Amino acid sequence: MTTTFDPSALPQLQQQRIERPWRRKPPIFTWSVVLATLIPLAIVGWIYWSTDIPGAIVMTVIYLPLQLIASGVAAFATRGRRGILDSVIIVNAIGATLFTLIVLLSVIGSLIARGITAISAHFIYQNNVYVSPSTPLEYGGIGHAILGTVIIVGISMLIAVPIGVATAIYITEVRGRAVPYVRFFVQAMAGVPSVVAGLFILTIIVATGAFQQGAFAGGLAYAILMLPTVARTAEEVLKLVPEDLRTGALALGSTRARTVLRVVLPAARTGIITAIILGVARVIGETAPLLLAAGSADATVVNPFGGPIAAIPTYIFNNVALPYPDAVARAWASALVLIVLVSILFVLARVIGRGRLSSK
Protein backbone atom coordinates (compact mmCIF):
# COMPACT_ATOMS: atom_id res chain seq x y z
CA MET A 1 0.00 0.00 0.00
CA THR A 2 1.29 3.37 -0.95
CA THR A 3 -0.25 6.56 0.14
CA THR A 4 -1.79 8.22 -2.80
CA PHE A 5 -2.73 11.81 -3.16
CA ASP A 6 -6.44 12.11 -2.85
CA PRO A 7 -7.60 15.03 -5.00
CA SER A 8 -11.11 14.88 -3.66
CA ALA A 9 -9.88 16.02 -0.28
CA LEU A 10 -8.46 19.21 -1.74
CA PRO A 11 -11.55 21.19 -2.71
CA GLN A 12 -13.05 20.35 0.64
CA LEU A 13 -10.05 21.77 2.43
CA GLN A 14 -10.11 24.89 0.34
CA GLN A 15 -13.83 25.26 0.49
CA GLN A 16 -13.76 27.88 3.20
CA ARG A 17 -11.07 30.45 3.60
CA ILE A 18 -10.07 31.54 7.06
CA GLU A 19 -11.62 34.93 7.42
CA ARG A 20 -11.85 37.69 9.93
CA PRO A 21 -14.93 39.48 8.67
CA TRP A 22 -14.77 42.03 11.49
CA ARG A 23 -11.53 43.36 10.05
CA ARG A 24 -13.21 44.37 6.84
CA LYS A 25 -14.08 47.96 7.50
CA PRO A 26 -16.65 49.91 5.51
CA PRO A 27 -15.10 52.55 3.20
CA ILE A 28 -16.34 55.37 5.40
CA PHE A 29 -14.25 53.96 8.23
CA THR A 30 -11.07 53.84 6.18
CA TRP A 31 -11.65 57.29 4.77
CA SER A 32 -12.45 58.75 8.17
CA VAL A 33 -9.21 57.44 9.63
CA VAL A 34 -7.15 58.65 6.68
CA LEU A 35 -8.73 62.09 6.65
CA ALA A 36 -8.63 62.42 10.44
CA THR A 37 -4.90 61.78 10.31
CA LEU A 38 -3.96 63.81 7.26
CA ILE A 39 -6.07 66.94 7.61
CA PRO A 40 -4.75 68.04 11.03
CA LEU A 41 -1.18 67.29 9.94
CA ALA A 42 -1.63 69.29 6.76
CA ILE A 43 -3.13 72.26 8.57
CA VAL A 44 -0.46 72.20 11.25
CA GLY A 45 2.30 71.86 8.68
CA TRP A 46 0.95 74.82 6.76
CA ILE A 47 0.69 76.95 9.90
CA TYR A 48 4.18 75.98 11.02
CA TRP A 49 5.86 76.85 7.76
CA SER A 50 3.86 79.90 6.83
CA THR A 51 3.92 81.66 10.19
CA ASP A 52 6.64 82.01 12.80
CA ILE A 53 4.70 80.58 15.72
CA PRO A 54 7.10 78.34 17.68
CA GLY A 55 6.80 74.62 16.97
CA ALA A 56 6.01 73.80 20.59
CA ILE A 57 3.00 76.09 20.55
CA VAL A 58 1.85 74.76 17.22
CA MET A 59 1.96 71.20 18.51
CA THR A 60 0.15 71.75 21.79
CA VAL A 61 -2.19 74.62 21.13
CA ILE A 62 -3.09 73.83 17.53
CA TYR A 63 -2.26 70.23 16.65
CA LEU A 64 -3.53 68.45 19.74
CA PRO A 65 -7.00 70.06 19.82
CA LEU A 66 -7.23 69.77 16.05
CA GLN A 67 -6.39 66.09 16.17
CA LEU A 68 -8.94 65.54 18.93
CA ILE A 69 -11.65 67.30 16.93
CA ALA A 70 -10.77 65.48 13.72
CA SER A 71 -10.77 62.10 15.47
CA GLY A 72 -14.01 62.95 17.19
CA VAL A 73 -15.67 63.84 13.88
CA ALA A 74 -14.33 60.68 12.27
CA ALA A 75 -15.55 58.58 15.19
CA PHE A 76 -18.95 60.22 15.04
CA ALA A 77 -19.18 59.51 11.34
CA THR A 78 -18.36 55.83 11.78
CA ARG A 79 -19.82 54.90 15.14
CA GLY A 80 -22.20 57.64 16.15
CA ARG A 81 -22.28 59.56 19.39
CA ARG A 82 -20.62 56.97 21.59
CA GLY A 83 -17.61 56.90 19.27
CA ILE A 84 -16.60 60.40 20.28
CA LEU A 85 -15.43 59.68 23.82
CA ASP A 86 -13.66 56.56 22.60
CA SER A 87 -11.72 58.58 20.10
CA VAL A 88 -10.74 61.07 22.79
CA ILE A 89 -9.35 58.24 24.91
CA ILE A 90 -7.56 56.61 22.01
CA VAL A 91 -5.93 59.82 20.78
CA ASN A 92 -4.83 60.73 24.29
CA ALA A 93 -3.62 57.20 25.08
CA ILE A 94 -1.48 57.16 21.95
CA GLY A 95 -0.31 60.67 22.81
CA ALA A 96 0.67 59.69 26.37
CA THR A 97 2.49 56.62 25.10
CA LEU A 98 4.40 58.63 22.52
CA PHE A 99 5.24 61.27 25.13
CA THR A 100 6.70 58.66 27.48
CA LEU A 101 8.62 56.96 24.69
CA ILE A 102 10.03 60.29 23.51
CA VAL A 103 11.26 61.08 27.02
CA LEU A 104 12.82 57.63 27.34
CA LEU A 105 14.38 57.91 23.90
CA SER A 106 15.72 61.36 24.75
CA VAL A 107 17.34 60.08 27.96
CA ILE A 108 18.91 57.01 26.36
CA GLY A 109 19.82 58.84 23.15
CA SER A 110 21.53 61.73 24.90
CA LEU A 111 23.45 59.31 27.14
CA ILE A 112 24.81 57.48 24.13
CA ALA A 113 25.46 60.58 22.03
CA ARG A 114 27.19 62.57 24.75
CA GLY A 115 28.65 59.72 26.76
CA ILE A 116 30.44 57.98 23.94
CA THR A 117 32.95 60.81 23.38
CA ALA A 118 34.78 60.27 26.63
CA ILE A 119 34.64 56.48 26.61
CA SER A 120 37.97 54.82 26.08
CA ALA A 121 39.87 51.86 27.47
CA HIS A 122 41.71 53.94 30.06
CA PHE A 123 38.47 55.61 31.08
CA ILE A 124 37.24 52.26 32.31
CA TYR A 125 40.30 51.24 34.36
CA GLN A 126 42.31 54.33 35.31
CA ASN A 127 41.57 56.38 38.38
CA ASN A 128 41.22 60.07 38.88
CA VAL A 129 44.26 60.88 41.04
CA TYR A 130 46.08 63.13 38.59
CA VAL A 131 42.94 64.54 37.05
CA SER A 132 41.50 67.96 37.65
CA PRO A 133 38.23 69.08 36.07
CA SER A 134 40.12 70.74 33.25
CA THR A 135 42.37 67.78 32.44
CA PRO A 136 41.79 66.62 28.87
CA LEU A 137 40.02 63.35 28.26
CA GLU A 138 43.24 61.53 27.30
CA TYR A 139 43.95 61.08 30.98
CA GLY A 140 42.16 59.51 33.88
CA GLY A 141 39.11 57.38 34.21
CA ILE A 142 36.53 55.99 36.52
CA GLY A 143 38.18 52.66 37.26
CA HIS A 144 38.30 53.66 40.93
CA ALA A 145 34.60 54.54 40.88
CA ILE A 146 33.62 51.28 39.18
CA LEU A 147 35.67 49.35 41.73
CA GLY A 148 34.11 51.43 44.52
CA THR A 149 30.61 50.67 43.29
CA VAL A 150 31.47 46.97 43.08
CA ILE A 151 32.85 46.95 46.64
CA ILE A 152 29.96 48.92 48.10
CA VAL A 153 27.32 46.87 46.29
CA GLY A 154 29.17 43.69 47.30
CA ILE A 155 29.09 44.69 50.96
CA SER A 156 25.41 45.53 50.76
CA MET A 157 24.73 42.16 49.13
CA LEU A 158 26.59 40.35 51.91
CA ILE A 159 24.27 42.03 54.41
CA ALA A 160 20.96 42.35 52.59
CA VAL A 161 20.74 39.07 50.68
CA PRO A 162 20.87 36.66 53.64
CA ILE A 163 18.55 38.85 55.71
CA GLY A 164 16.21 39.45 52.81
CA VAL A 165 15.98 35.78 51.92
CA ALA A 166 15.55 34.89 55.59
CA THR A 167 12.70 37.38 55.81
CA ALA A 168 11.07 35.73 52.80
CA ILE A 169 11.58 32.31 54.40
CA TYR A 170 9.91 33.57 57.55
CA ILE A 171 6.90 34.68 55.54
CA THR A 172 6.52 31.64 53.30
CA GLU A 173 8.12 28.75 55.22
CA VAL A 174 8.17 29.42 58.95
CA ARG A 175 4.82 31.20 58.72
CA GLY A 176 5.07 32.59 62.22
CA ARG A 177 2.36 34.55 63.90
CA ALA A 178 3.94 37.86 62.94
CA VAL A 179 3.81 37.33 59.16
CA PRO A 180 1.41 40.21 58.46
CA TYR A 181 3.51 42.56 60.59
CA VAL A 182 6.78 41.49 59.00
CA ARG A 183 5.36 42.07 55.54
CA PHE A 184 4.06 45.42 56.66
CA PHE A 185 7.49 46.46 57.97
CA VAL A 186 9.22 45.27 54.83
CA GLN A 187 6.84 47.32 52.71
CA ALA A 188 7.27 50.35 54.91
CA MET A 189 11.03 49.90 54.67
CA ALA A 190 10.76 49.84 50.88
CA GLY A 191 9.42 53.37 51.09
CA VAL A 192 12.36 54.80 53.06
CA PRO A 193 13.88 57.54 50.89
CA SER A 194 17.47 56.83 49.95
CA VAL A 195 18.64 60.09 51.48
CA VAL A 196 17.13 59.04 54.81
CA ALA A 197 19.00 55.72 54.63
CA GLY A 198 22.19 57.71 54.15
CA LEU A 199 21.37 60.05 57.04
CA PHE A 200 20.65 57.09 59.31
CA ILE A 201 24.08 55.56 58.67
CA LEU A 202 25.59 58.99 59.15
CA THR A 203 23.96 59.36 62.57
CA ILE A 204 25.37 55.98 63.56
CA ILE A 205 28.83 57.14 62.50
CA VAL A 206 28.43 60.37 64.41
CA ALA A 207 26.92 58.71 67.47
CA THR A 208 29.20 55.69 67.78
CA GLY A 209 32.35 56.57 65.90
CA ALA A 210 32.77 52.83 65.30
CA PHE A 211 33.69 53.40 61.68
CA GLN A 212 33.97 56.31 59.29
CA GLN A 213 32.61 57.38 55.92
CA GLY A 214 33.60 54.76 53.38
CA ALA A 215 32.69 51.60 51.58
CA PHE A 216 31.35 49.83 54.66
CA ALA A 217 29.09 52.72 55.63
CA GLY A 218 27.96 53.09 52.03
CA GLY A 219 27.27 49.36 51.86
CA LEU A 220 25.16 49.58 55.03
CA ALA A 221 23.10 52.40 53.52
CA TYR A 222 22.68 50.47 50.27
CA ALA A 223 21.67 47.36 52.25
CA ILE A 224 18.74 49.28 53.79
CA LEU A 225 17.48 50.01 50.29
CA MET A 226 18.27 46.56 48.92
CA LEU A 227 16.73 44.46 51.66
CA PRO A 228 13.04 45.12 50.93
CA THR A 229 13.48 44.46 47.20
CA VAL A 230 15.25 41.15 47.86
CA ALA A 231 12.74 40.13 50.53
CA ARG A 232 9.67 40.90 48.47
CA THR A 233 10.93 39.27 45.27
CA ALA A 234 12.21 36.23 47.16
CA GLU A 235 8.82 35.92 48.85
CA GLU A 236 7.14 35.86 45.44
CA VAL A 237 9.43 33.14 44.11
CA LEU A 238 9.27 30.98 47.24
CA LYS A 239 5.49 31.04 46.91
CA LEU A 240 5.90 29.54 43.44
CA VAL A 241 7.66 26.45 44.82
CA PRO A 242 5.05 23.69 44.70
CA GLU A 243 3.70 22.62 48.07
CA ASP A 244 4.24 18.97 47.05
CA LEU A 245 7.99 19.45 47.30
CA ARG A 246 7.71 20.52 50.92
CA THR A 247 5.29 17.81 52.00
CA GLY A 248 7.29 15.28 50.02
CA ALA A 249 10.49 16.17 51.86
CA LEU A 250 8.76 16.28 55.25
CA ALA A 251 7.18 12.89 54.54
CA LEU A 252 10.66 11.49 54.01
CA GLY A 253 11.51 12.52 57.55
CA SER A 254 13.36 15.72 56.71
CA THR A 255 13.25 18.46 59.30
CA ARG A 256 11.69 21.76 58.39
CA ALA A 257 15.07 23.49 58.36
CA ARG A 258 16.58 20.88 56.09
CA THR A 259 13.51 21.00 53.84
CA VAL A 260 13.90 24.73 53.39
CA LEU A 261 17.65 24.69 52.89
CA ARG A 262 17.98 21.55 50.78
CA VAL A 263 14.70 21.42 48.88
CA VAL A 264 12.84 24.72 48.77
CA LEU A 265 15.76 27.12 48.26
CA PRO A 266 17.44 24.99 45.55
CA ALA A 267 14.09 24.69 43.79
CA ALA A 268 13.77 28.46 43.83
CA ARG A 269 17.43 29.07 43.00
CA THR A 270 16.97 31.01 39.78
CA GLY A 271 14.20 33.04 41.37
CA ILE A 272 16.45 33.95 44.29
CA ILE A 273 19.13 35.01 41.82
CA THR A 274 16.54 37.22 40.12
CA ALA A 275 15.70 38.71 43.51
CA ILE A 276 19.37 39.49 44.13
CA ILE A 277 19.78 41.05 40.68
CA LEU A 278 16.72 43.23 41.20
CA GLY A 279 18.10 44.24 44.59
CA VAL A 280 21.41 45.24 43.02
CA ALA A 281 19.64 47.11 40.22
CA ARG A 282 17.62 48.97 42.83
CA VAL A 283 20.68 50.40 44.58
CA ILE A 284 23.43 50.61 41.98
CA GLY A 285 22.55 54.10 40.82
CA GLU A 286 21.66 55.56 44.21
CA THR A 287 23.64 58.70 44.88
CA ALA A 288 22.32 60.40 47.99
CA PRO A 289 23.21 57.61 50.47
CA LEU A 290 26.77 57.51 49.16
CA LEU A 291 27.18 61.28 49.33
CA LEU A 292 26.31 61.06 53.02
CA ALA A 293 27.82 57.74 54.03
CA ALA A 294 30.62 56.90 51.62
CA GLY A 295 31.99 60.30 50.61
CA SER A 296 34.10 60.50 47.48
CA ALA A 297 37.71 60.05 46.45
CA ASP A 298 39.98 60.37 43.44
CA ALA A 299 42.25 57.50 44.30
CA THR A 300 41.53 53.81 44.22
CA VAL A 301 40.36 52.58 47.64
CA VAL A 302 39.99 48.90 48.44
CA ASN A 303 39.66 48.80 52.22
CA PRO A 304 35.98 49.02 53.23
CA PHE A 305 37.06 50.85 56.38
CA GLY A 306 39.74 52.86 54.61
CA GLY A 307 37.91 56.14 54.46
CA PRO A 308 35.96 57.89 51.73
CA ILE A 309 35.61 55.93 48.52
CA ALA A 310 34.47 56.81 45.00
CA ALA A 311 31.51 55.25 43.23
CA ILE A 312 29.97 55.82 39.82
CA PRO A 313 26.88 57.75 40.97
CA THR A 314 28.83 60.10 43.22
CA TYR A 315 31.41 60.58 40.47
CA ILE A 316 28.64 61.66 38.11
CA PHE A 317 27.18 63.91 40.78
CA ASN A 318 30.51 65.65 41.38
CA ASN A 319 31.12 66.29 37.68
CA VAL A 320 27.71 67.24 36.34
CA ALA A 321 27.60 70.92 37.01
CA LEU A 322 31.28 71.78 36.67
CA PRO A 323 32.07 74.56 34.20
CA TYR A 324 34.60 72.38 32.34
CA PRO A 325 33.47 70.58 29.18
CA ASP A 326 35.78 67.65 29.83
CA ALA A 327 34.42 67.13 33.34
CA VAL A 328 30.89 67.19 31.97
CA ALA A 329 31.90 64.74 29.23
CA ARG A 330 33.24 62.45 31.96
CA ALA A 331 29.93 62.70 33.78
CA TRP A 332 28.03 61.68 30.64
CA ALA A 333 30.43 58.84 29.99
CA SER A 334 30.08 57.55 33.56
CA ALA A 335 26.32 57.81 33.22
CA LEU A 336 26.56 55.72 30.08
CA VAL A 337 28.64 53.13 31.94
CA LEU A 338 26.09 53.14 34.76
CA ILE A 339 23.08 52.73 32.46
CA VAL A 340 24.84 49.89 30.64
CA LEU A 341 25.37 48.16 34.00
CA VAL A 342 21.73 48.72 34.94
CA SER A 343 20.56 47.43 31.55
CA ILE A 344 22.70 44.30 31.87
CA LEU A 345 21.18 43.62 35.29
CA PHE A 346 17.71 44.32 33.90
CA VAL A 347 18.12 41.94 30.97
CA LEU A 348 19.71 39.30 33.23
CA ALA A 349 16.77 39.48 35.60
CA ARG A 350 14.34 39.15 32.69
CA VAL A 351 16.16 36.23 31.10
CA ILE A 352 16.59 34.32 34.34
CA GLY A 353 13.06 35.18 35.39
CA ARG A 354 11.68 33.89 32.11
CA GLY A 355 13.71 30.69 32.42
CA ARG A 356 12.09 30.10 35.77
CA LEU A 357 8.60 30.50 34.40
CA SER A 358 9.11 28.38 31.32
CA SER A 359 10.63 25.51 33.29
CA LYS A 360 7.40 25.20 35.25
Partner 1 sequence: MSIAESKGVDTIQTPAVTDSSPTTDREIEMSTQDVSVWFGKRKVLEGVSIDFPKRSVTALIGPSGCGKSTFIRTLNRLHELIPGAALAGSVMYEGKDIYDRDVDPVQIRLKIGMVFQKPNPFPSMTIRGNVLAGLKLSGMKRSNHDDIVEETLRAAGLWNEVKDRLGAAAGELSGGQAQRLVIARALAVQPHVLLMDEPCSALDPASTLKIEETIRDLSKDVTIIIVTHNMQQAVRVSDRTAFFLAAENEPGHVVEQGLTTEIFGNPQDQRTLDYVNGRFG
Partner 2 sequence: MSLADPEIRDLKAAATSHRGDRVFNRIITVAAFTALAVLAGIAVFLGLQTIPAFQSQGLSFITTTAWDINTDPPTAGIWGMLYGSVLLAVIGLVIAIPASLLLSIFTVFLAPRKLAAGLTNLIDLMAAIPSVILGLWAFYILNPTAEEWQRLLNQYLGWIPIFQNASGNFLGTPFIAGFVLAIMMIPIITSVSREVLARTPPELINASESLGSSLWTMLRYVALPYGRGGIVGGIMLGLGRALGETIAVFFVLKIVFEVNWYQIIESGGGSVATLIVSRFGEVSGEFELSLLLAAGFFLFVLTLVVNVIANLIVARTGRLQK
Question: Applying CB under 8 A, which residues contact partner 1?
Answer: 16-22, 24-26, 79-82
For the CB of residue 7, give the shortest distance to partner 1 in the complex, in Å: 20
C-alpha to C-alpha distance for 109 and 4, rounded to whole angstroms? 61
**Shorter beta-carbon distance to partner 2: residue 6 or 244:** 244
20 binds, among partner 1, partner 2, none (CB under 5 to 8 A by kind): partner 1
21 binds, among partner 1, partner 2, none (CB under 5 to 8 A by kind): partner 1
**Shorter beta-carbon distance to partner 2: residue 103 or 302:** 103
For the CB of residue 3, give the shortest distance to partner 1 in the complex, in Å: 19
325 binds, among partner 2, partner 1, none (CB under 5 to 8 A by kind): none
For the CB of residue 193, give the shortest distance to partner 2 in the complex, in Å: 2
For the CB of residue 307, give the shortest distance to partner 1 in the complex, in Å: 59
**Shorter beta-carbon distance to partner 2: residue 130 or 181:** 181
For the CB of residue 35, give the shortest distance to partner 1 in the complex, in Å: 18
**Shorter beta-carbon distance to partner 2: residue 10 or 85:** 85
Rounded to 5 degrees, φ, ψ at 320 are: -55, -55
**Shorter beta-carbon distance to partner 1: residue 19 or 138:** 19
245 binds, among partner 1, partner 2, none (CB under 5 to 8 A by kind): none
36 binds, among partner 1, partner 2, none (CB under 5 to 8 A by kind): none
**Shorter beta-carbon distance to partner 1: residue 22 or 49:** 22
For the CB of residue 72, give the shortest distance to partner 1 in the complex, in Å: 15
For the CB of residue 75, give the shortest distance to partner 1 in the complex, in Å: 12
C-alpha to C-alpha distance for 189 and 197, rounded to whole angstroms? 10
139 binds, among partner 2, partner 1, none (CB under 5 to 8 A by kind): none
Q: Which residues contact 81 (CB under 8 A, 6 or more apart)?
A: none
**Shorter beta-carbon distance to partner 2: residue 122 or 258:** 258
